[in-house]
Amino acid sequence: GSTLQAAAAESGRYFGTAIAASRLNDGTYSSIANREFNMITAENEMKMDATEPQRGQFNFSSGDQIVSWARQNGKKVRGHALAWHSQQPGWMQNMSGSALRQAMLDHVTQVATHYRGQVYAWDVVNEAFADGSSGARRDSNLQRTGNDWIEAAFRAARAADPNAKLCYNDYNTDNWSHAKTQAVYSMVRDFKSRGVPIDCVGFQAHFNSGNPVPSNYHTTLQNFAALGVDVQITELDIEGSGTSQAQQYQGVVQACLSEARCTGITVWGVRDTDSWRASGTPLLFDGSGNKKAAYTSVLNALNAG
């Protein structure tokens, strides 16, 4: 294949990007996005604060804009994210207990219902585990409603959109030896054993020098897949430049290709200048829209697989 999406499709996988609705009228941006990618994640537009700015008053205008662009151009959509400790609307941030639990479930139900049939996979719960060596859940207002909040969110999402794949999504879960990875693995194993509806696990894959692409990445993906879930790389970006960056990107692609249930890879933005990282050059295209060495290594790795 001569584009990322075509090369990934040769092994039945997708290649995606995060899209910001506000950039879609930038011609360079939208033409690269249309040419190279066939899975679209809304970078911010489907989050809790964007979609339910006032309790019970939903605003889907920006999210709908992205879904409509994706449909017009024949692309699938990954929904991001139904329940998260961050990017909560102001009214939710100070809620607690059963009122918050119900508000969260209502949110999951309403948003998943609005997009029913239009989303390939939802990040149902995002970033619910703590960093570091504890292996504990992350403290948050949602966690304080009870340890079962995650499974409650998954059940609500399944009821609202039975055909969407339901994913748990997190970062720093790439290295098999990390406590956070093991903790998420234990949760997924428990969910599968008890019939909690989970179909997939997303690995955000935000890498930098302090958190490099692990050499055991394929082990992580294979072990999760062996639990009976699909796995996806959902928010890939790698700080750095040149050959070193290109080699790390190649390693991520090879890890995904080595696991049959790794169904696709999404990078977290189009050009370096579109990245959430204020400085740095973590993506596949430079600020002018030129292909970087990292692009070529990803394309070659996809074609080799």
Binding site for ligand G3I (CB under 6 A): 43-44, 86-87, 126, 171, 204, 235, 276
Q: Which is nearer to ligand G3I, 17 or 126 (CB)?
A: 126
How many C-beta atoms surround the C-beta of residue 105 within 10 A?
A: 20
Q: Which is nearer to ligand G3I, 17 or 44 (CB)?
A: 44
The residues that are catalytic are 235
> Least CB distance from residue 207 to ligand G3I, whole Å?
12
How many C-beta atoms surround the C-beta of residue 231 within 10 A?
A: 24
Q: Which is nearer to ligand G3I, 30 or 254 (CB)?
A: 30
> Least CB distance from residue 253 to ligand G3I, whole Å?
20
> Least CB distance from residue 68 to ligand G3I, whole Å?
20
> Least CB distance from residue 86 to ligand G3I, whole Å?
5
Q: Which residue is at the shortest CB distance from ligand G3I?
A: 276
Q: Which is nearer to ligand G3I, 26 or 305 (CB)?
A: 26
